[in-house]
Amino acid sequence: MPSSAYPVLRPLSELAAADAPIRPVAPAPRERPRPRDHGPAAGLRLVCDRAGFARARAFTRETLRGWSLADRADDAVLVVAELAANAAAHAAPAVAGPAEVRLGISLVPGALLLSVTDPGDDAPVPAPADDRVLREHGRGLHIVDTLADTWGWLPRPPRGKTVWARLPARPPT
C-alpha cells in the first residue's frame, strides 16, 4: 500500500516530462521478486573504503562471469559502484566507526537484481539536473537510472535501507 514511507515506483516512461526529477521509491508489492522466482544469488559484506569498493567491483564481475553473464558485467559493476559510493557518502557518516554495507546480486527471471544495504535511513535523492555535465559529484543515481530498467529503495527496520536496481539480463540490441 503506497504511503510516504512506502511509495509506488513509477517507470521513467510515465514521467510527464523528460526533464522531470527522478524520484527513487520502493517497489510496489507486485514488482518484488518472490523467493521461488529467484535463480542464483550472491552477497558480500564490505567496509566503505577504497579496498571495499574494489572488492565490490571484482565480486560483481566474477559473480556474473560465473553465471555466464559476463556481457552484463560492465553495467552491473558501474551500478554497484554508484550505489556503494552513495552508501559511503551519505549513510556511512551517520554511523560511529567504520560503516559496513552489504552487496547483493541475484538473478530473477530476465533480470539481474543488484542491491546495496546500508545503515542510513534517508531515502536516496538524485541531485537536481542541471547544465553542468562535467561536475564531479551528484550524477550517480542518474547513471543508475539510465542503466537500470527500474530502481528504488526499501527501509530496513529498525535502521537502514536497501537501494536496489534491476538490470536486464540480456544486453540491449
**Tell me, what's the pLDDT at 79?**
95
Phi and psi of 153, rounded to 5°?
-150, 160
Question: Within 13 A of 29's CA, how many CA atoms are on the CB side?
Answer: 3
**Tell me, what's the pLDDT at 169?**
87
Residue 147, helix vs strand vs coil: helix
Site of grid cell 559496513 = 100
Query: If the chain, 173 residues long, is cut into consecutive pieces of 10 residues, what is the mean pLDDT of each piece?
Result: 40 40 43 57 85 90 94 95 85 68 92 92 71 58 88 88 91 65
Model pTM? 0.71
Asked whether residue 160 is domain-assigned, the answer is: yes
> In angstroms, how far is the first alpha carbon of the chain from the final one?
36
Asked whether residue 24 is domain-assigned, the answer is: no
Question: Within 13 A of 88's CA, how many CA atoms are on the CB side?
Answer: 17
Cβ neighbours of 128 (radius 10 Å): 8
**Tell me, what's the pLDDT at 121?**
82
**Domain assignment of residue 159, given as a range:** 40-168
**Tell me, what's the pLDDT at 7?**
40
- Cell numbers of 135, please? 561536475
Asked whether residue 95 is domain-assigned, the answer is: yes
Domain count, the chain: 1
The Cα 105–Cα 43 span in angstroms is 6
The Cα 127–Cα 12 span in angstroms is 16
Asked whether residue 3 is domain-assigned, the answer is: no
CB 140 within 8 A of CB 156: no
CB 91 within 8 A of CB 80: no
**Tell me, what's the pLDDT at 77?**
95
The Cα 16–Cα 71 span in angstroms is 33
Residue 53, domain CATH: 3.30.565.10
Closest CA to 117 of 92, 150, 143: 92
Closest CA to 48 of 92, 81, 79: 92
